Amino acid sequence: MNINIYSIGRSGSKIVQLYTSLLCIKKYDRCCINYEPFLWKTRECKRYSIEGVYENERLPLFLNELNNKYYSNYLKNLIDVKSGIPIVSKFIRGNGRINFINNMMNINKTIFIIRPIIEVLKSLSCTGFDLLGDGTIQRNDWSKLENEVLKMENPLYIEWLKRADTNLKKNACYWAVMNHFALDNFSADDSVLIMDFQEIRKNANKEFEKIAEFLNISPLNIDFSKVSGEDIHREKIIKTINYENVNHLKRKHMQIVTFGNNENSNINRKYLKFKSLVRLNLLRYKLINPSNLICKEIITKQDNFKLSESSHVINSAAASPSGKLFGDELFEEMNAKVYGKLCTMKLK
């Protein structure tokens, strides 16, 4: 099973990818993770993926169907059809390319997450994150967005572009155009699950049960007040072992990390034997992260899920989805248009 998760940045996709991956481990014993492959080489976000950044620049922001001109070996290589391992990939730079990416990667299930514009903008203001790519090695996407929207000749999108005269409004415009376009181009079938992050914040267990039902897997018993999307990175439930000191590791450029709390991270290394990209024996909590050009993280079965008790993303303070932000009605208009499209989707 190949699962792709799409959202705009700061919309809760980390926690969804974490939970979805654990569900796959529960049912299939293992799972691969691709974390923001248009930017990062691994989920630890320490090294940029030059190949991914190049591919993000090469591909149009809006690419709805397969096109031989833009055939992507990079996206194709993010999956491994032969192994049969479920792969959960997360994109925050793919909303205008969902059908194209899914076709390239032979995706079975798609999870789309939306979060109210005011909550996203508040998060951008607090974290310094920029939806257009500033602060990373990526080129700012605003000029590319402008050019492609003008070619589309969509009057609603063009009107939003004209009114985006500050960086905050440009980020808002990106949120609105990308979410509206994605919702406008989804086919209403059982291969797509659309989630609203404000509903996740209200009742995480209920919303995540929808993911389990969507994937036909029994839900995990997790206290979401003690889980953060940041756990997907490195410091919470994932502990690193220095691979250079591990005996019997047959493949170069491999990093082994373990899931679990501190008492489970002391592993007798003499028993470690690397057999393939899909298996490490004799570990209770384990993850393999090959540092090759297309870096995948391969998780093998866990006996128990022991999650961090130090982070509280679900219960964090956030702005109300209604009301004005910084006194500008543009954000309210964008939010109304996008959520109106969302309501139309739910009625289908």
Q: Quote the CA–CA distance of 295 and 117 in Å, as a whole number.
A: 32
Q: Decide if 260 is inside a domain.
A: no
pLDDT of residue 302: 35
**Which residue in the block uniquely carries the two structure tokens 């415009």?**
173
pLDDT of residue 230: 63
Tokens of 7: 């959202």
Q: Decide if 98 is inside a domain.
A: yes
Q: Decide if 139 is inside a domain.
A: no
- Are residues 54 and 70 in contact, defined by beta-carbon separation less than 8 angstroms? no
Tokens of 189: 């079938």
Q: Decide if 222 is inside a domain.
A: yes
pTM of the predicted model as reported, rounded to 2 decimal places: 0.76
Q: Residue 137 burial (CB < 10 Å; 0-12/13-18/19+)?
A: exposed
Q: Decide if 142 is inside a domain.
A: no
pLDDT of residue 83: 75
Q: Decide if 69 is inside a domain.
A: yes
pLDDT of residue 280: 31
User: Which CATH number covers residue 35?
Assistant: 3.40.50
Domain that residue 77 falls in: 2-115+187-233+311-317
| Block mean pLDDT (10 aa), the chain, length 348 | 96 91 85 90 85 95 91 91 84 97 95 95 89 91 97 96 94 97 88 94 93 94 70 42 32 33 32 29 32 33 34 31 57 95 77
Q: Decide if 103 is inside a domain.
A: yes
pLDDT of residue 157: 98
pLDDT of residue 52: 93
Q: Decide if 345 is inside a domain.
A: no
- When divided into structural domains, the chain yields a total of 1
Max intra-chain CA distance, the chain: 65
- Are residues 306 and 147 in contact, defined by beta-carbon separation less than 8 angstroms? no
Note the helical H segments in the chain.
Answer: 13-28, 50-58, 73-76, 98-105, 117-127, 142-152, 155-163, 167-185, 197-202, 204-214, 330-347
